[in-house]
Amino acid sequence: MSSEESNAAAPLLGLVLAGGRSTRMRADKAALLYGGRSQLERAMELISPHVERAYVSVRADQSADPLRARFPQISDARENLGPIAGLLAAQARHPEAAWLLLACDLPLLDGATLTQLVRSRAPERLATAYRSSHDGLPEPLCAIWEPRSAAPLAAYVAGGRQCPRRFLVGADTQLLDEPNPHALENINTPEEYRSAMTALLPEATTDPKHITVQYYALLREQAGRRDEALVTSARTPGELYAELSRRYPFSLGPEMLRVAINTEFRDWSAPLADGDAVVFIPPVAGG
Amino acid sequence: MLADPACGGYAAFEGWVRDSNEGQRVRGLEYEAFEALGVREGERIIAAALARFGVAHAACVHRIGALQVGELAVWVGVSAAHRDEAFRACRYIIDEVKHRLPIWKKEHYLSGDSGWVNCERCASAPNRDSTDGAVDHPHVHEHI
């Protein structure tokens, strides 16, 4: 019995790293919204089912921040160490525990990725981590750090180093292949934030679309052209016509027109998709 | 295309360019069409006429481009066992064509003005050409 207990895996706690300075984003990455929810809330929700208790790692001066104050916190004891400071503080607080460490800038992280990480955990090693699909190196900020990693990690930092990735490269790390190649893409810039939002909300079609528009009759004369290819964030033909009406002196309101998408009559509220061909149809007068 | 030994009747309609409309002297017309959708919608009208009136064959041609007074603009032909359904199907097709096909008509007047029918001078009454204009709407360019 006693040998079984000593081989049992240490309890797993969760730590979401929300103490970064988000310098390139120029905005708190933990507070960025996806579908109306902050990334910190999303990360806490994702990690909670996998751990006995989840904490937010914060800098000492962030503990009163309302976004972070909702959750159990662990404050960094040291400054300017980057993410490793949060892990050191957590290991100091609960030296008996293993830590599922999670960065707060992984908006595409999914539950399946965490499930596989926890299932594939190798408690006899120092850490279990994914192998990056970009460079093959360990991903330290979506990884499980066993209690036995604490001493070598402290020595590593005492030696003046602070890169957790390099630590894992040199340590006894169990490496896994990512089940979802995009799950661990982190975001650092406003552009990356926008593309992550788009990836998360494929049905929210305000992202730019390439649309061709053909003009006939009075609209052709008022637009001064037969057709054009444009990039628009309009979601519907109604929004597109409103956008075009700001550029051209159209005298016909949408109530006078019908609309066709890809050679079929459609509603004004039909969703536009990339590559669609749109025609606004003035009152007809055949015969 | 329409000839058929089983048919005892053939009805046709021709729409011609008339020399006046709503008090203005018309010099000529210009038709423009969204052809891909027009052909598709026209085929639906023909199919509906065949199903609805039980006629044997039906066809319709609409010209586009510049037309002079007196020229033929649109033709409808229907053949059927008896004249009654041929007339009715022919009438149905021309009404639907005028109402539904993405075809536009610009009138050029002797005065030098021009205008898109139903879009400009008639902009406040978008549906005025939506029924058969031969009787009720004297500005429609057709004669039976």
CB contact under 8 A, A284 and B98: yes
Task: Give, in order, the Cα–Cα distances in Å from A130 to each of A103, A113, A148, A179.
Answer: 13, 9, 19, 9
CB contact under 8 A, A284 and B118: yes
Amino acid at A158: A
Instruction: State the Cα–Cα distance between residues A264 and B44, nearest whole angstrom.
Output: 12
Buried b (16+ CB within 10 A) or exposed e, A205-233: beeebebebbbbbbbbebbeeeeeebebe
CA atoms within 13 A on the CB side of A119: 8
Please indicate, yes or no, if residue B142 is contained in any of the structural domains: no
CB contact under 8 A, B37 and A279: yes
Is the model more confident about A267 or about B4? B4
Q: Which of B77, B92, B59, B97 is nearest to B9 (CA)?
A: B77
Per-residue tens of pLDDT for chain A, all 287 residues: 444 444 578 999 999 999 888 888 878 899 888 766 789 999 999 999 999 999 999 998 888 888 899 899 999 988 888 899 999 999 999 999 999 999 999 999 999 999 999 999 999 999 999 999 888 899 999 999 999 999 999 999 999 999 999 999 999 999 999 888 888 988 888 888 877 876 775 454 578 899 999 999 999 999 999 999 999 988 889 889 999 999 999 999 888 999 999 999 998 878 899 999 999 999 999 98
Q: Taking CB atoms and an 8 Å cutoff, what residues of chain A touch B37?
A: 260, 263-265, 279
Q: What is the pLDDT of residue A270?
A: 85
Is the model more confident about A219 or about B143? A219
As a residue count, chain A comes to: 287
Q: Which of B45, B61, B49 is nearest to B86 (CA)?
A: B49
Question: Pairing state of beta strands B24-33 and B103-109?
Answer: antiparallel
A208 touches chain B (CB under 8 A): no
Please indicate, yes or no, if residue B107 is contained in any of the structural domains: yes
Contact A51, A139 (CB under 8 A): no
| B57: CATH | 3.90.1170.40
Please indicate, yes or no, if residue B13 is contained in any of the structural domains: yes
Residue A172 Cα to chain centre, angstroms: 29
pLDDT tens track for B88-120: 999 999 999 999 999 999 999 999 999 999 988
The alpha carbon of residue A273 is apart from the nearest alpha carbon of chain B, in Å, by 19
Backbone angles phi, psi at A201, to 5 degrees: -125, 65
Contact A173, A125 (CB under 8 A): yes
pLDDT above 90: residue B126? no
Instruction: State the Cα–Cα distance between residues B5 and B11, nearest whole angstrom.
Output: 15
Instruction: State the Cα–Cα distance between residues A152 and A167, nearest whole angstrom.
Output: 9
pLDDT above 70: residue B137? no
Q: What is the pLDDT of residue A192?
A: 84
> Which structural domain, as residue segments, surrounds residue B84?
9-136
User: CA-based angle A116:A122:A128, to the nearest 5?
Assistant: 65
Mean pLDDT of all residues in chain B? 85
Lookup: tokens for B92: 């149905």
Q: What is the pLDDT of residue A196?
A: 82
Please indicate, yes or no, if residue B34 is contained in any of the structural domains: yes
Instruction: Count other Cβ atoms within 10 Å, centred on residue B96.
Output: 21
DSSP letter at B57?
Answer: E
pLDDT tens track for A90-132: 999 999 999 999 999 999 999 999 999 999 999 999 999 999 9
Q: What is the DSSP string of A129-197?
A: EEEPTTTS-EEEEEEEE-GGGHHHHHHHHHTT---HHHHHHHS-EEEEE-SSTTTT----SHHHHHHHH
Lookup: tokens for A139: 């991903």
pTM: 0.51
What residues pair up with A128 in beta bridges, in sequence order?
A144, A174
pLDDT above 50: residue B142? no
Domain total of chain B: 1
Please indicate, yes or no, if residue B58 is contained in any of the structural domains: yes
Report ipTM for this prediction.
Answer: 0.83
CB contact under 8 A, A284 and B32: no
CB contact under 8 A, A263 and B36: yes
What residues pair up with A63 in beta bridges, in sequence order?
none
Lookup: tokens for A30: 């933990």
3-state secondary structure of A37: strand
Please indicate, yes or no, if residue B115 is contained in any of the structural domains: yes
pLDDT above 70: residue B129? no
Instruction: State the Cα–Cα distance between residues B35 and A228, nearest whole angstrom.
Output: 18
Please indicate, yes or no, if residue B94 is contained in any of the structural domains: yes
Domains recognised in chain A with CATH numbers: 2-200 (3.90.550.10), 209-281 (3.10.20.30)
Lookup: tokens for B107: 């009138």
Instruction: State the Cα–Cα distance between residues B61 and B70, nearest whole angstrom.
Output: 17
Contact A233, B51 (CB under 8 A): no
Lookup: tokens for B39: 């052909």
Amino acid at A189: T
Helix (H) or strand (E) holding B76: strand B72-80
3-state secondary structure of B82: coil
The alpha carbon of residue B33 is apart from the nearest alpha carbon of chain A, in Å, by 8
Please indicate, yes or no, if residue B42 is contained in any of the structural domains: yes
Q: What is the pLDDT of residue A48?
A: 94
